[in-house]
Amino acid sequence: MTSTQDPTPPTRPLIYDLYDQPVSGAEIERRSFAAIDAEADRSGFTNAQWQVVRRLIHTTADFSLAEQIRFSDDAFSSCAAALQRGATIYADSNMIRSGLSVARLQQIHPGYQRDSILCHVADTDVAVQAKDSGLPRSLFAVRKAAAQLDGSIILIGNAPVALLEINRLILEQGLRPALVIGMPVGFVHVLESKEELQTTGVPYIVIDGRRGGSPLAVACLHALCGLVGD
């Protein structure tokens, strides 16, 4: 019979072990990456691809993500050129906009600022259009930014409808982003939005299936920044 009693608390809080033997945040990250390298099967990935895959595993502690990540052949070269010229960045959620490290971006191009990362999903006019039409705000947020998306880096971590609209702009209006990070999460429109993106001919990094999320989209771009900065 399993006991329901709470475990006996330690006589000395464990944080004191860290106080006694300090480890910096950078060292914790280094050790984490070393653990991932030791445990994961990185066969089948180029060095550049593995830097992205490892960062996503680090974000989630989920090794099975490696089986679902897809890269177009031109994803890295196109993204590197875009970052180096200070290309527009579009985010489908304010979580992505807030989570992106401007300091990392500025190491590649000094012109990057928080306000220069586009995200219109919370704009008043977008909310009005969504209410009037009965369609998601993410659709109208993409449409509002459409004129600025040629050559841009697009991060979709929340809204599959945003990715569907990006795909439509590519297929019908000739939009050519430098990279689409397609990682929306959920159960409706998710699978087809990712599958369609991979047929459009534009550079992409995708997590197949239902999994995704804004933290993964952010981690992906951070990994790409590290590759460009090396």
Of residues 58, 109, 189, 222, which has the active-site annotation? 58
Measuring CA to CA, how many Å separate 55 from each of 1, 83, 94, 114, 167? 41, 19, 21, 22, 26
222 part of the active site: no
Listed in sequence order, the DSSP H helices in 100-186 are 102-108, 124-133, 137-145, 160-173
Measure Cα distances from 218 to 17, 91, 92, 93, 136 in Å: 32, 9, 11, 11, 22
Secondary structure letter of residue 5 according to DSSP: S
List the helix and strand counts (H, then E) for the chain: 11, 6
Helix axes 190-197, 160-173, angle to 10 degrees: 30
CA distances for 136 relative to 92, 127, 141, angstroms: 12, 9, 9
Q: In what order do the strands lie in the sheet with 179-182?
A: 69-71, 204-207, 179-182, 153-156, 89-91, 117-118
Identity of the residue numbered 111: G
Tell which residue, 124, 79, 103, 111, has the closest CA to residue 217: 79
Active site residues: 58
